[in-house]
Structure 1
Amino acid sequence: MALIERGEVGSARGQPPGKPGGDGETSTYGDVLGNPQLQRWALRIGVATVIGVLFAIVFDLRVGVTVAIIAVIADTVRKARSVPSDQAHRRASAAERKTARQLRGLTKQGWHILHARAVPRDSEGVSDGKIDHLVIGPTGVYAIDSEQWDKRLPVRTLSHLKLFHGPFEKKDRLDEARWEANQASRLLSKAIGVEIPVQPSVAIYGPAIPWRIMTVRNVDVYAGGTARKYLRKKPKVLTAEEVERIAEVARTALPSKFPE
């Protein structure tokens, strides 16, 4: 992902009505009512109220109130899990910077680290996929995605087929990481003329990871702080010349997602 920061918007964010904002002006009720977060909650409660009234008419008041509460909770959970959001982008970019700092030292040892590489999704080269860090070195080629997760929720696996963060299954995240790596492998292999495998992996920051490296759905999963060790501990499979050749091709086949 891109190593960019999104600035805070709104100098008076978080200030109660009638209190001075960050720019020295006084917030008004109009400012508060224009708050997108407040508008979302108003809409959420309004919809839930309508649903609750309908159920109360058909059944009884108790059922109506229960259904309305469930509707609010369900919509809140759905919005919290939706991606992307500004807050999610900020968390992700922080995780990417942590991984980038770890990988920086590898360049002196003959490794090539390419950040935020675009992945074409169709025959016309249109892309909405992105590899956070494409790493080429003596032990192979890797597509690393950096993730910042809530440290309060545990991480666990089930039979190397499912990855959970608290109650949330991360199948889609693993499938996306694997798809990105497969696309990178396809493009590099086509350009060079020989098979170039690309290993997908996810570096997780935040919660404790109860293993060193776990392969789930063919994706390596590990604690973000061990990313450098993860790359270096594997056996060497590429010569220095091969590393240079693959890196040269990768810069063209997988261009930067955010060109300057």
Structure 2
Amino acid sequence: MPGGSIYVQPDEKYTGSSPQWWYEKFWREDAPNRRRSRYVKAAVGFVIGVALALRFDLAAASPFAGLIMAGIVAGGDWFLDWRSFHATAVWRGARRGEAITGKMLRRSLSRLGYSVLDGRAIRGQASIDHLVIGPGGLWIIDNESWSPDTEIACYGGRLFFGEKYGSKTAKPLVETAEAFAELLTRETRIPVTITPMLAVHCGLLPKGGIVLAEGLTLLKPRLAAKVIKSAEGVVLSDEQIEVLARTAARELQRT
């Protein structure tokens, strides 16, 4: 977030009675229940596999069909459990969101003429995780994570995280985008505007994975490059992109 780190740091938040600590504790304690449930589902899959084999007159192969179906069901159930836990990695402090998003941005945008600068700040002011400059314009992207059950939504034009207003999150990032745009416009004499985004690594986004509220776009990290590529028209030439990227690298402090 502007002005500070967006991640839960290795301090007391990750020990004792923090939400992250309890989440991992309950996850581990619930492992036997998940295994028992997986065995039951695999057994049902075995029965279905045998039934399908008999239905198609493959009685001799029915045990193998049952085992294959049981394996598929068990593997699928394990994968869903793993994905659910893995989705909380940034929130739990196991991974860094800026590394994830930066890799996705470069992989999708670099070959299309976009420049991605990580960890930039106006000296003495707010910082951002990524600045993207390309044919479609400019974006700043920060990373954030909330608890897995936090609903992120827009009601009446207002941003909400659960039952809390999200203005304290949206306003600083919007102001940072304006400050970055003012600096780059002044230094390059190329009039630019910057669109602020927030990559949400953990939390409940609505179907589609995007929320637009209070001048901010909140979205799943994998959608950031897609939204950038969908920008209409070419607003910057290759020469302008190079000038803006060089100026940003020179004028914006690395964080």
Q: TM-score, normalised by structure 2?
A: 0.61
Q: Which residue of 2 aligns with 1:189?
A: 185
Provide the rounded CA distance (Å) in 1 between the counterparts of 2:194 and 2:139: 5
Question: What letter is aligned with 1:154?
Answer: E
Question: What letter is aligned with 1:199?
Answer: T
1:46-85 alignment to 2 at 5 Å? none
Instruction: Verify: 1:103 aligned to 2:105, yes or no.
Output: yes
Q: When the two structures are aligned, how many residues end up with a matched partner?
A: 177
Q: 1:93 to 1:136 in 2, by over 3 A?
A: farther
Q: Give a deviation string over 1:235-256, Cα, whole Å, max 9, x none.
A: 2321212111111111112121
What are the ranges of 5 or more consecutive residues in structure 1 without an aligned counterpart? 15-34, 38-87, 121-125
Q: 1:154 to 1:172 in 2, by over 3 A?
A: same
Question: What letter is aligned with 2:176?
Answer: E
Q: Secondary structure at the match of 1:136?
A: strand
Instruction: Verify: 1:209 aligned to 2:205, yes or no.
Output: yes
Please, which of 206, 226, 229 is the counterpart of residue 223 of structure 2? 226
Question: What letter is aligned with 1:179?
Answer: E
Q: Secondary structure at the match of 2:231?
A: coil
Q: TM-score, normalised by structure 1?
A: 0.60
Q: Which residue of 1 aligns with 2:137?
A: 140
Provide the rounded CA distance (Å) in 1 between the counterparts of 2:187 and 2:105: 26
Q: Which residue of 2 aligns with 1:171?
A: 167
Provide the rounded CA distance (Å) in 2 between the counterparts of 1:163 and 1:226: 19
Q: Give a deviation string over 1:178-223, Cα, whole Å, max 9, x none.
A: 1110110010000011311111111111123214543311112222
Task: Among all aligned residue pairs of Structure 1 and Structure 2, give the percentage whose two residues are the same amino acid.
Answer: 25
Q: If each structure's helix is expressed as a fraction of its own residues, which one has the higher value? A: 2
Provide the rounded CA distance (Å) in 1 between the counterparts of 2:127 and 2:230: 26
More relative contact order, 1 or 2 (CA 8 Å, 6+ apart)? 2
Q: Give a deviation string over 1:95-133, Cα, whole Å, max 9, x none.
A: 21111110121223211111110124xxxxx23x10110
Q: Secondary structure at the match of 2:185?
A: helix
What are the ranges of 5 or more consecutive residues in structure 2 without an aligned counterpart? 19-89
Is the 8 Å Cα contact of residues 121 and 254 (structure 2) preserved in structure 1?
yes
Provide the rounded CA distance (Å) in 2 between the counterparts of 1:6 and 1:155: 19
